[in-house]
Amino acid sequence: MDIDVKKSAPVGVFDSGVGGLTVAREIMRHLPNENIVYFGDTARVPYGSKSKDNIIRYSRQIIHFLKTKGVKAIVIACNTASALALDVVREESDIPIIGVVEPGARAALETTKTRKIGVIGTEGTIRSAMYEKIIQGIDPEATVIGKACPLFVPLVEEGFAKHRVTQEIIDYYLASFLETDIDSLILGCTHYPLLRSRIREYVGEKITLVNPAYETAMDLKQLLKARGIENMDTRQEHAAYSFYVSDAADKFKQFANSILPYDIETTKQINIEEY
């Protein structure tokens, strides 16, 4: 393939739904030349309660779909899929694939002083203990306390981030962390950065919140540079972004426009089971 074509090829980003937009947002901010094809699996969300086999199957289908769009690299912008499927799909792929768990684990280790780290995520992510494995693979002395917070996802999706009932649920899930001496808390689910200010208010100054999204964008930047496939074309006002979902395109579009720096015009619905 012509090298210029390859450089301007989009980056594929996928998630179980809208959560991965928090990662896409960081890529848009820090890699402004990169074109993006985003896929949100809104028909099959949540991934957090699904089996590993299903998450691998879903991820394979999405990667297949993104490849039909000519992507040059893929970001799994979903903690659950990164924890349960990345190793398998990366092995099978002829283009680079990165996830959010490893960058998040590294960011937490850079943040912590006590080497005691909390991680919150879906049931699948916490059960996989992937954050713990990666953190302790780098620093065997580090302690990791994980907690699944499954209700955070629907609260965000239903627009309850600022609602008072959210306070009670934050208290229900996070109270036990206040009795520990963790000094860093990984927001190990792509929806949780949208509750960031509420969580910060609750846990206070002594605990730093770690959002893997920024670190993931930095990893992507490094990867594209190392392979010589960064898009250097600065002629366009901003890069081209396209959005695909497996259901409820209008709801997705509304949500995306509330959190992204640019309004998106169209979101196309596709049948992901065909891939």
Subset of 111-130 contacting ligand DGL (CB under 6 A) = 121-122, 125
One of 28, 191, 195, 209 touching ligand DGL (CB under 6 A): 191
Catalytic residue status for 189: yes
One of 21, 73, 78, 142 touching ligand DGL (CB under 6 A): 78
One of 8, 80, 211, 246 touching ligand DGL (CB under 6 A): 80
What mask, x for binding ligand DGL by CB under 6 A, covers residues 37 to 76? --------xxxx----------------------------
d(CA 65, CA 270): 10
C-alpha distances in angstroms, 240 versus 42, 66, 69, 232?
22, 15, 13, 14
Does a cis peptide bond (omega within 30 degrees of 0) precede residue 46? yes
Residue 13 phi/psi, 5-degree rounding, is -130, 130
110: nearest Cα among 186, 189, 177: 186
The single residue of 21, 78, 135, 185 carrying the catalytic annotation is 78
The answer for residues whose C-beta is within 8 angstroms of residue 15's C-beta and 6 or more apart is 21, 23, 38, 39, 40, 41, 76, 77, 78, 81, 190
The single residue of 89, 189, 213, 245 carrying the catalytic annotation is 189
Provide the minimum distance between the beta carbon of 16 and ligand DGL in the complex, in angstroms, as a whole number.
3
**Interacting residues toward ligand DGL by CB under 6 A:** 15-16, 19, 45-48, 78-80, 121-122, 125, 153, 189-191
What residues are labeled active site?
A: 78, 189
